[in-house]
Amino acid sequence: MPDATIQRPAWAGLRVALVHDWLTGMRGGEKVLESICRLFPDAPLYTLLHVPGSVSPLIESRAIHTSLIQRLPQAVRRYREYLPLFPVAIEQFDFDHVDLIISTSHCAAKSVVKTGRAVHLCYCHSPMRYAWDQFDAYFGPERLGRWPSALARQVMAWMARWDRDTAHRVDMYLANSHYVAGRIARYYNRRATVLHPPVDTDFFTPAGATPAPDFLVVSALVPYKRLDVAIDAANRAHAPLVVVGSGPDEARLRARAGATVTFAGSLEGDALRDRYRRARAVLLPGEEDFGIVPVEAMACGRPVIALGTGGATETVVPGVTGRLVEPGVEAFAAALQEFDDAAFDPAVIRAHAERFAAARFESAFAGAVTAALGAGAVC
């Protein structure tokens, strides 16, 4: 991979700070952060919460500054319950010494307070999902009960107002998809340039082996990922499904899984790549802002069956790299029953995935930083 740190004329000598919501695992957002860390090897990292050892060595090697959330009781396990405190926590960071702030945000990171001279570039994975349009998936009555849900709705309405009112703190937005750029326009009344996230296509590669008969889901086990749809579809189609991932929804999902569904836990590195390579197809049952898992699967030459809305429509080419399906268990069950992986060419799928290579992302991101600095007249 080209070393993007060799030439940095636009920001050489500037004091740079990176901001990320929280560091609790290597998911899509953290892989974006990892690429940004390569561009800014000396920049300190500010985050609400850090679980040591949970992210890559490149990220762990930074000077990492955490917020008051880190010091709250059982924060590592229960940090999501402290969501109403996130505004206070993210605003406590002092950036008086900083010329350039780069945030990667799906919750609160974009709302840091900057000085007048600093330029703030935000790579936005999504406006705060649970406060805007996915409240029921997280805090609906069927999950919390009637009265706790009603209380949570009042809190999330306040969080949505705060999220909207702090959108002006960002000088330039980058969105991870056209879908998210639309949400930024709708909720923040701001324009965003689309830059798709990076995928390590040097690591995720085809193996050439005959795939197993199993379908695969790779996901955090949280409500909005809609793993329940994939599991119910596998139950209905009597299709073998392997679920890779962990999260607070695990017990609920295990309880609804039939005999053909197995849980493999969290996998990384070679073990995850091996699962991709051996999958008959990889499923994406929920509406994703972008969805890095389908692209990792395609980099391994495997087709994808995805919900035909959101970010998947920007990565999956129907009939070429996979299939887009209508919402609902019946549609996914029918797709599993009818799916013929032999109809897809692994080499063609792989070539499509190379459009999302990390080197391309880092080059484009460096250009965006240069543009942001020029617009902000930082010297």
Dump pLDDT digits (tens) for 304-334.
999 999 999 999 999 999 999 999 999 999 9
CA–CA separation, 211 and 350 (whole Å): 15
For residue 13, what pLDDT is reported?
84
DSSP notation for 99-142: SEEEEEESSSGGG----SS-EEEEEES-S-HHHHT-HHHHH-HH
- Mean pLDDT over 249-269 rounds to 94
What stretches of the chain show up as alpha helix (H) in DSSP?
A: 28-39, 57-60, 75-78, 86-91, 129-132, 135-139, 141-144, 146-165, 178-188, 227-237, 250-256, 269-278, 292-299, 329-338, 346-353, 358-376
pTM for the model stands at: 0.87
CA–CA separation, 348 and 325 (whole Å): 21
What stretches of 300-344 show up as alpha helix (H) in DSSP?
A: 329-338
pLDDT digits (tens, 9 = 90+) for 94-123: 999 999 999 999 999 999 999 888 999 999
CA–CA separation, 173 and 160 (whole Å): 18
Confidence band of 1 (pLDDT split at 50, 70, 90): very low
CA–CA separation, 336 and 304 (whole Å): 11
CA–CA separation, 110 and 229 (whole Å): 32
pLDDT digits (tens, 9 = 90+) for 344-374: 999 999 999 999 999 999 999 999 999 999 8
pLDDT digits (tens, 9 = 90+) for 53-71: 999 999 999 999 999 999 9
Neighbours of 288 (CB within 10 A): 29
Is residue 2 scored above 50 in pLDDT? Answer: no
Backbone phi, psi, residue 114, to 5°: -110, 165
Confidence band of 185 (pLDDT split at 50, 70, 90): very high
Is residue 140 scored above 70 in pLDDT? Answer: no
pLDDT digits (tens, 9 = 90+) for 172-183: 999 999 999 999
For residue 90, what pLDDT is reported?
97
Is residue 5 scored above 90 in pLDDT? Answer: no
